[in-house]
Structure 1
């Protein structure tokens, strides 16, 4: 509830952590493209079959959780629009549940696949390279627009890795990985000569390092996390407003308190995560069909 200070400890940690976690959305698009381009949508009936499937797994949850977000905004007295055009516009922009912008943009990419999917079917390396270079050049980091340039870039690169999957199996030695990890963290927090170029390089570095770190996860860690992964979408669509409520409550109790700000920055997400994993497990036990529809068949 005070002026945000990037030069204070809380500001430095929040800013650096935000930069580190910027790899999340590009990574999601990369993985989505990887699995999406495993199929050709030019065969008879394939495109329509894909649209029906995505309607169930993406469109229906998108509509449900945006409507829930709209109801929450109305109850909180934060939404007063009545014009049908404005309401439709806000639905398309996912104004009622901000994180779902990713799902909206992903659906558009999939809908438009007949216009660019031939690039992969053609199997012409020159056409593919030129396309990816153009995508890289036009890429703007942290772009959440309807046709996100960041989304386009990594979605297309996901398709590339789908065709050259063997390169994903390459592992670097632990010493080099440690150096690259340290470099990624230092750049994210220190931001030397910060600009669009270094920002892009840092995002690519972070994704590479993250991918290389995954095999190092212990079996015990996997045994804990993987069973919870089916509820990740449920947590994803529910976290914004409760997280905001906790932050605003703490801010009102401890205004302009850096210690409180830093504590809530780390603790609030954990609290919200635990709450919705608990609720999700209850729904999975007692009303699994409802949860299945609301999450697009992800349980």
Structure 2
């Protein structure tokens, strides 16, 4: 039997690419939430499926990452919080802050280059160009941020800074503090301060609690897997029925909570029953982070414009077909770009990804303890 952290590290590693695929799917539709008509009309079926995946199931990805990051941040904590905090913060400058800055800058540069090239050839201005010029440095690099998927890294950086307070909360209140944060999360009590969402605070602290209290996450989640599966489905249906209504979030958040349990249980099951399949999903920390950081730099939007701009893909069944084709093509394009950049500028490219390098596993065997803390995004 593999030690707790070794197996968990493997299971989490196998989750990275599927979770990033969900992140890509989340960005296929607008932020607005339409009401869903449960009919056999092709447009209604498209709305049902796209809302189910993009605005419900896809939200599990970042919440899983917050929980996992909280767990691994405190996984090796011993006793000296000051020394531990200093060491961890130094590591996160490289693995989180550097890529956060780099990939926001990359999007801004891409907008400027595209705008000036298009203006020269007479194709018209880029709307994002004027938006960037009219935005403050704070908005571009923190409030939004301009590379929107990086809000997760922004919030995670805040959790790292607040980690001593999170540790003290866990140490002196045990699970009561976590329950209190859960109440704030489910009741949608938000600070409205960028970086301090209750989503980040609750799930990061929950993961930290498991680490500080030395709880076997996989064993604990496995005990509740069947109730979690059932409640995940129940709240998914309720969330979809209330999609676009003021109270939808009250059903969405319980779905996310039980869904995080369920998705980790499913990948644990895959690891136990189909180890060869699980192994094929491992070792993509570097690639998955690149897809996460780069897919919004025109790639997915051009794909959406290209497909949905064609009459066949603009409505009904054609639109549904495009909905499933676009994220796959986006992943493929990002993978090709990743491989090219890793060949021609490997050092700079790895630096821009926070030092993450390709690391493809061989046979499924116990992993070294030193790899157990490499989980951000």
TM-score by length of structure 2 reads: 0.68
2:279 aligns to what? 223
2:365 aligns to what? none
Contact 2:73 2:88 in 1 (8 A): no
- Tell me, in whole angstroms, the C-alpha distance in 1 between the residues paired with 2:225 and 2:65: 25
Instruction: Give the paired residue count.
Output: 293
Q: 2:143 aligns with which of 93, 114, 136?
A: 93
- Tell me, in whole angstroms, the C-alpha distance in 2 between the residues paired with 1:90 and 1:61: 15
Kindly report which structure 2 residues correspond to 1:73-92, keeping only aligned pairs within 5 A, or say none.
Answer: 73-74=111-112, 75-76=114-115, 77=126, 78-80=128-130, 81-82=132-133, 86-92=136-142
- Tell me, in whole angstroms, the C-alpha distance in 2 between the residues paired with 1:178 and 1:160: 23
1:275 aligns to what? 333
Shift of 1:281: 2.5
Shift of 1:264: 1.8
- Tell me, in whole angstroms, the C-alpha distance in 1 between the residues paired with 2:178 and 2:226: 31
- Tell me, in whole angstroms, the C-alpha distance in 2 between the residues paired with 1:173 and 1:100: 32
Secondary structure at the counterpart of residue 36 of structure 2: coil
Unaligned runs of 5+ in 1: none
Q: 1:34 aligns with which of 71, 93, 99?
A: 71
- Is 1:135–2:220 an aligned residue pair? no
- Tell me, in whole angstroms, the C-alpha distance in 1 between the residues paired with 2:129 and 2:259: 38
- Tell me, in whole angstroms, the C-alpha distance in 2 between the residues paired with 1:239 and 1:202: 27
2:19 aligns to what? none
Give the 3 Å change call, closer, same or farther, for CA 116–216 of structure 1 in structure 2: closer
Shift of 1:173: 9.3
Q: 1:6 aligns with which of 36, 42, 54?
A: 36
Q: 1:114 aligns with which of 160, 164, 170?
A: 164
Give the 3 Å change call, closer, same or farther, for CA 96–40 of structure 1 in structure 2: farther
TM-score by length of structure 1 reads: 0.85
More helix by share: 1
Kindly report which structure 2 residues correspond to 1:109-188, keeping only aligned pairs within 5 A, or say none.
Answer: 109-120=159-170, 122=171, 124=172, 127-139=173-185, 145-162=194-211, 163-170=213-220, 171-172=222-223, 179=230, 183=234, 186-187=237-238
- Tell me, in whole angstroms, the C-alpha distance in 2 between the residues paired with 1:113 and 1:232: 25
Secondary structure at the counterpart of residue 174 of structure 2: helix
- Is 1:250–2:307 an aligned residue pair? yes
Give the 3 Å change call, closer, same or farther, for CA 103–49 of structure 1 in structure 2: same
Secondary structure at the counterpart of residue 139 of structure 1: helix
- Tell me, in whole angstroms, the C-alpha distance in 2 between the residues paired with 1:155 and 1:174: 21
Contact 1:180 1:209 in 2 (8 A): no
CA RMSD in angstroms comes to 3.1
Kindly report which structure 2 residues correspond to 1:59-74, keeping only aligned pairs within 5 A, or say none.
Answer: 59-74=97-112
- Tell me, in whole angstroms, the C-alpha distance in 2 between the residues paired with 1:48 and 1:284: 31
